[in-house]
Chains A and B, each alone.
Chain A
Amino acid sequence: MQAIEAFLTGRIWIKQFIPFPEEVIQEATEKGSARVVSGISADGQCARCLETSPDYVIPFQCATCGEVCRYCRTCIKMGRISSCTELVLWTSPALPKSAPRAFGWVGSLTPQQETASKAISESIRKQEDHLLYAVCGAGKTEILFSPIHEALQKGLRICVAAPRTDVILELSPRFKQAFPDAVIHTLYGDSPEQTGYGEIILATTHQLYRFQEAFDLLFVDEADAFPYSLDPSLERAVKKAGKPSAPVIYISATPSKTLRKQIAGHSTIFRRYHGAPLPVPVYRAMWNYEHHLRKGKLPSPLKDWIEDKLQKKQPFLLFFPSIQLIELASPLLYKIDCAIAAVHSKDPQRKEKVMQLREGALAGLATSTILERGITIPHLQVAVIGADHRVFDRAALIQIAGRVGRNAKDPTGDVIFFHNGITRQMDAARQEILFYNKEGKA
């Protein structure tokens, strides 16, 4: 495969930023192997992220081309695209080549994992979508290894997408170990450029904008929000990145009803890989907590709970509904123990602080909802402050509870909902966890 072909196959790229000389690109377009398209189509659609809303595709007087251009705000972080931006697509198809491939995964699956793994392979063979509905800590990644190995041997191009960078970074070393002879690309917001042909692409969902009809098989991890009602562009990204016939395997601990209805092929695992039940949330009333925090007082039920964890030397997470509340609480928490820190989504030291909690350098972390996933810490205890707040919906609360008891050596731990009144979402989360535990036993 020619270097430019390896780079461009399945990608849609701004011409100016293609890491090959102009003549090489020109030659490819003249031969018909590549095609140049306008960044924004005449009817106002972004060619990269497929945005069409006039709230995001904005006209302006462009000094580059001297005309009224439109530019796309939805994918602007990847380098702005406007009507006069040229995008290049590779048009010659890549033919899959089957060959035996190394498999570096040596673990074993529980019977439930085994069944799910087989069902996924079967769906892929039939080119059908599949939903893996598995509780937090079910061992989802291991379930995927065998189907992915089969696909790799058939020469299929595979993508695993997840909404957040942390998850992708966690998957990357595990995939490299499991598939030692595969070319694996790991793509996220500011990841280093990877210019060859990746056989397995691990990518944040946003990065899929950069692909077009690239994949024979897609896995969408943490598909809880799917179909993405809040950000339909991500759903479009998945569809666009896959070939028309590519099956999509959705993975979620809390799939929406729509997704459950939409997809015929299902596997369910309601039991954790270590067999112990999921910790069930406990409610504790904490009236007017916000008022107390504003007056500079830590409500006593919360204070008592924290002191108990400090005494037992158990790491803990405190989930707050807003950054403002974290800011109010953090000096008060610091007063109890200076090893309690705070993080929020824009905190550049987020990763370090989570590592410090894992290693015991920090006793606890106050956090916004961003840390609800992708974090596994032994002996972790969790409290939600203001579980009645609207940011804590059923799915978020289940995810938060799912952080606790993931380790086989200590499968228990506190999940406590401090509240100012019990909401339907809190009850729905608790009922669902009880249901998993009942089903998981059977």
Chain B
Amino acid sequence: MNCCLCDQALRFAPSWRGIFLYEPPELLCQPCRNEFLKIIGQGCKYCGKEGEAVCRDCHYWEEHGYRDLIHSGKSLYRYNGAMKDWFHQYKFLKDVLLAQVFAKDLREALANERALIVPIPLNAEKLSERSFSQVDELLLAAGIPYSHLLEKCGETLGEKTREERMATKQLFRLNGEAVPKQLVLVDDLYTTGTTMRQAAKILQEAGAESIRILTLIRA
């Protein structure tokens, strides 16, 4: 087996953990793994961005009609060069296997979660074109059960400027499933927070009381 990012042969160092507890085989070589930078310590209370207690983006939302909509949240990794490469290969080259690269991190973050886990969806057309939903695949790889409560409307944020993104009105609608009181919204990449705020708003209106968020990457 070779590293699934640089294609160098993987050198196996069998560990006691790997022998006694079932652990899926590592997909990355150590140098590639080391390129990814975890977000550590206390950052923004809503999105986990390193630095201030409330980041600039989240501050904007708090001041513009979305106060206390999100209870708290975090992100696991920084959006550095290696992460951009991974994201491109996963989402745009459609290399589904790469969902497994962060399986362990997501498992650690969500394994003991009692609230319902709700992935941010793709719209049906996009899903058929991409052939997989990148958030669902991340959760599947991590072995974390989830339920969809939302459907994506036509618009996508991809080609929008920062201002246009923040002014976008309706991105989601409910899919008709019952909305519980507590839930965790999961997405791949947190850029300005528009997606999460929109999703949270509609879920709150449908009866959710405590909404937390988790994203793999904070841009």
Residues of A within 8 A of B (CB): 55, 58, 60-64, 69, 71, 73, 76-77, 80, 82
Contacts and interface: CB of A to CB of B under 8 A. Distances in A.
B131 A76 contact: no
Nearest to A61: B132
Interface string B1-44: 11010000000000000000000000000000000000000000
Nearest to A74: B7
Interface of B: 1-2, 4, 89, 93-97, 127-133
Contact of B93 (A60, A69, A80): A80
B153 to A, nearest CB: 18
A80 B97 contact: no
Given A55-B1, A55-B2, A80 B95 contact: yes
Interface of A is mostly: mixed
Sorted nearest first, the 10 A-B pairs with minimum C-beta distance are A64-B131, A60-B96, A80-B94, A63-B127, A62-B131, A58-B97, A63-B131, A76-B93, A64-B128, A63-B132
B95 A76 contact: yes
Contact of B132 (A55, A62, A73, A77): A62
Nearest to B127: A63
A63 B96 CA distance: 12
A64 B131 CA distance: 5
B2 to A, nearest CB: 7
Contacts of B1: 55
A62 B137 CA distance: 11
Given A63-B131, A64-B129, A82-B131, A73 B94 contact: no
A271 B103 CA distance: 57
13 contacts: A58-B97, A60-B97, A61-B132, A62-B132, A63-B128, A63-B132, A64-B129, A64-B131, A69-B131, A73-B4, A76-B89, A76-B93, A80-B95
A77 B95 CA distance: 10
Contacts of A63: 127-128, 130-133
Q: Which of B89, B93, B96 has the most CB of A within 10 A?
A: B96
Contacts of B97: 58, 60, 73
A71 B130 CA distance: 13
A228 to B, nearest CB: 13
A58 B128 contact: no
Given A60-B132, A63-B131, 13 more contacts: A58-B96, A60-B131, A61-B132, A62-B131, A63-B127, A63-B132, A63-B133, A64-B128, A69-B131, A71-B94, A71-B96, A73-B95, A76-B95
A179 B96 CA distance: 45
Contacts of A73: 4, 95, 97
Nearest to B137: A60
A349 to B, nearest CB: 15
Contacts of A60: 96-97, 131-132
Q: Which of A55, A61, A73 has the most CB of B within 10 A?
A: A73
A60 B89 CA distance: 16
Contacts of A58: 96-97
